[in-house]
Amino acid sequence: MTLKRRNSLPVLCCALGLAVQAPGFEPVAAKHGIVVSAEPQASDVGLEILEAGGNAVDAAVAVGFALAVTHPYAGNIGGGGFMLVRMATGEAGEAIVVDYREEAPAAASRIMYLDAKGDLAPEASVVGARAVGVPGTVAGLALVEEKYGKLGLARALAPAIRLAEQGFPVSYALSQSLQGGQALLSRFDGSRRIFLRNGKLYEPGEIFKQPELAHTLRLIAQGGPDAFYRGAVAKAIAATMEKYGGLITLGDLEQYQAKVRAPLEGRFRGFTVLTVPPPSSGGVALIEMLNVLEPLDLGSPNSYQSIHVMAETMRRAYADRAAYLGDADFVSVPVAGLTSPKYAAKLREEILNSKPEAPVVAGGPAAWSEGAQTTHFSVVDADGNAVANTYTLNGAYGSGVTVEGAGFLLNDEMDDFASKPGAPNMFGLVQGEANAIQPRKRPLSSMTPTIVLGNNRDSGFGIRDSGNQSPNPEPRIPNPGLRLVLGSPGGGTIINTVLQVVLNVLVFKMDVREAVTAPRFHHQWMPDELLVEDWGFSADTLERLKEAGYKVNARGGIGECQAIAIDPETRWRFGAADPRGDGKAVGY
Ligand code: GLY
């Protein structure tokens, strides 16, 4: 498809030094720092912190807490996620992953969601207190702030406390989203009262105040993560669990810890790709797919050739996901083998020598009810420090349960386990033994926060209309190499969304806004179907794919990528919020 471009100039730093999401098609350009999130007020919070002297970590922590207030659909303190941090220190820089994924409570068991006949009990792993994993967000954000932040947890929490206490105007998107969440939220007292105002739904423009959440955030600002995991908030969570028949105890909360892990590192056409290890499957699958695709001619974007080769690669990586991936602290995961060039060569041979496979019928259309329930934000600061963070409540508004008296929603992340190995979860993903439920284990995720490094300028970093030149080149600053910071929500589609945006920039030379906007497709092995965005592909291409044997199904948006690209010559930052959502890129 041809992407239409305006001939206007990009939005650059204006008189006030601010740069915000362009109404048109170009990425936002900023000389110093840039924040891209799924919710405009949270992006503004990130900018506020950067301009107050905070670094990318301070800004990211502040955005994480702000989204818990302004984007209750997925932003959270009652869920979990993964943060990839790359500090521009020293010659090589330093990168870590903070794994603050939720954890199964001690009383969880392999068969907890099965009925007497051994079938999955409807809703059991998705709705209500038994679906909740021990939340990790507060531990994760506090850990990273302590390790790398400059301003401290209390300062990073201040904007979120302000937004919760003073309230903020409800956007059209939030009012629609709350309306969409009615069926779930109305089932639980606190949720019905806070998010649905007992049936008097919020209209756009009305002010949404959350005094109970403000109080909780204040307790965390004063007492640190202990306030959440051992103090008053822990007691409120345990009481809510008792009321609704959940399993999480004070002991589960007290022992929870965010874990620092080494990022997975892959190579692709001269670039280094940093991403997340298990218990997310995202990094392994992303590197496996990039390894397969590296030497191949991908043709032009979204042509039959590129879709076929990429879909066959996706199919194999997702089959491996189902067979081998789980929490590597509990099961043996062959990460090195799956991400090795030798294995990629074997898969490539298989793909090149096979005809497009006739679909194996897997029981009709998938249960694709999910939208973009998870949420991602990306931050780069003036020193070149970068954060890619993806976190979630799992389903929209998580389990639907709000912690009584504490004002925040709890996740339904237990559904990301294989409740019955071999049966699909809410994303239609079939998962295996490696991801079976065990006490204290973390469920397999698809979250794929990713950072790309490299000096190769032959890719789409700047603004294409201006010949890929960003304005006012500056002398190089030390520690070159940061190129792309990105991630996406979208359940099982996350990994393929990140793959496509990376390829759009590195291979197809799109600028970052084009790269996040371009139509996407998705194959996840089972069900055996090729999902395509319903607006983005030519009838001819779809026909050819069908003739080749693909079962093609169309749907609305796939993923919602928030990305930042850095021009290797000039160091200008270019941000793009995915137009599939309501996010905003803002920089200075
Ligand atoms: N809950 C979605 C994921 O972790 O992939």
pLDDT digit string, tens, across residues 214-228: 999 999 999 999 999
Report whether the peptide linkage leading into residue 341 is cis, meaning its omega lies within 30 degrees of zero.
Answer: no
Q: Give backbone dihedrals phi and psi of 435, rounded to 5 degrees, phi first.
A: -110, 25
Sign of CA dihedral 518, 463, 501, 398: negative
Query: CA nearest 246: which of 127, 136, 344, 352?
Result: 127
Say yes or no: CB of residue 411 within 6 Å of ligand 1. Answer: no
* Residues forming beta bridges with residue 266, ordered by sequence position: 273
Residue nearest to atom 3 of ligand 1 (CA): 445
- Identify the pLDDT of residue 431: 76
Q: Are 387 and 57 in contact (CB under 8 A)?
A: yes
Query: How remote is the CA of residue 100 from the centroid of ligand 1, in Å?
Result: 12
Say yes or no: CB of residue 125 within 6 Å of ligand 1. Answer: no
- Identify the pLDDT of residue 358: 43
Say yes or no: CB of residue 159 within 6 Å of ligand 1. Answer: no
Pocket test for ligand 1, best of 447, 488, 495, 560 (most atoms within 8 A of CB): 447
The residue extents of the domains of the chain are 1-167+209-297+371-514+562-588
Pocket test for ligand 1, best of 370, 375, 413, 435 (most atoms within 8 A of CB): 413
Query: CA nearest 47: which of 87, 19, 22?
Result: 19
- Identify the pLDDT of residue 373: 81
Digit-by-digit pLDDT tens for the chain (588 residues) are: 333 333 333 344 343 466 765 555 789 999 999 999 999 999 999 999 999 999 999 999 999 999 999 999 999 999 999 999 999 987 778 999 999 999 999 999 999 999 999 888 989 999 999 999 999 999 999 999 999 999 999 999 999 999 999 999 999 999 999 999 999 999 999 999 999 999 999 999 999 999 999 999 999 999 999 999 999 999 999 999 999 999 999 999 999 999 999 999 999 999 999 999 999 999 999 999 999 999 999 999 999 999 999 999 999 999 999 999 999 999 999 999 999 999 999 999 999 987 655 443 322 223 333 345 899 999 999 999 999 999 999 999 999 999 999 999 999 999 999 988 877 777 777 778 899 999 999 999 999 999 999 976 666 655 554 444 444 444 444 454 899 999 999 999 999 999 999 999 999 999 999 999 999 999 999 999 999 999 999 999 999 999 999 999 999 999 999 999 999 889 999 999 999 999 999 999
- Identify the pLDDT of residue 354: 72
d(CA 68, CA 70): 6
Query: How remote is the CA of residue 23 from the centroid of ligand 1, in Å?
Result: 31
d(CA 78, CA 250): 15
CA distances from 21 to 24, 512, 586 (A): 8, 12, 6
CA distances from 84 to 97, 388, 391, 395, 399 (A): 4, 5, 11, 22, 26
Say yes or no: CB of residue 491 within 6 Å of ligand 1. Answer: yes
Q: Which atom of ligand 1 is nearest to the CA of 494?
A: 5
- Identify the pLDDT of residue 359: 41
Residue nearest to atom 4 of ligand 1 (CA): 445
d(CA 124, CA 126): 6
Listed in sequence order, the residues at least 6 apart from 31 whose beta carbon sits closer than 8 Å to its beta carbon are: 13, 472, 474, 571, 572, 573, 587, 588
Domain 1-167+209-297+371-514+562-588, second-level architecture = 4-Layer Sandwich (3.60)
Q: Are 195 and 181 in contact (CB under 8 A)?
A: yes
Say yes or no: CB of residue 447 within 6 Å of ligand 1. Answer: yes
Q: Give backbone dihedrals phi and psi of 337, rounded to 5 degrees, phi first.
A: -65, -45
- Identify the pLDDT of residue 357: 52
Say yes or no: CB of residue 488 within 6 Å of ligand 1. Answer: no
* Residues forming beta bridges with residue 562, ordered by sequence position: 577
- Identify the pLDDT of residue 429: 77
Say yes or no: CB of residue 416 within 6 Å of ligand 1. Answer: yes
Say yes or no: CB of residue 240 within 6 Å of ligand 1. Answer: no
Query: How remote is the CA of residue 513 from the centroid of ligand 1, in Å?
Result: 25
d(CA 587, CA 573): 8
d(CA 237, CA 409): 10
Q: Are 583 and 46 in contact (CB under 8 A)?
A: no
End-to-end CA distance of the chain: 33
Could you list the active site residues? 374
d(CA 464, CA 194): 46
Q: Are 467 and 482 in contact (CB under 8 A)?
A: no
Q: Which atom of ligand 1 is nearest to the CA of 392?
A: 1
Query: CA nearest 80: which of 273, 268, 327, 293?
Result: 327
Q: Are 584 and 36 in contact (CB under 8 A)?
A: yes
Residue corresponding to tokens 């007492």: 223
Quick: pLDDT tens for 235-267.
Answer: 999 999 999 999 999 999 999 999 999 999 999
* Residues forming beta bridges with residue 424, ordered by sequence position: 430
Query: CA nearest 207: which of 69, 63, 48?
Result: 69
- Identify the pLDDT of residue 18: 67
Q: Which atom of ligand 1 is nearest to the CA of 415?
A: 1
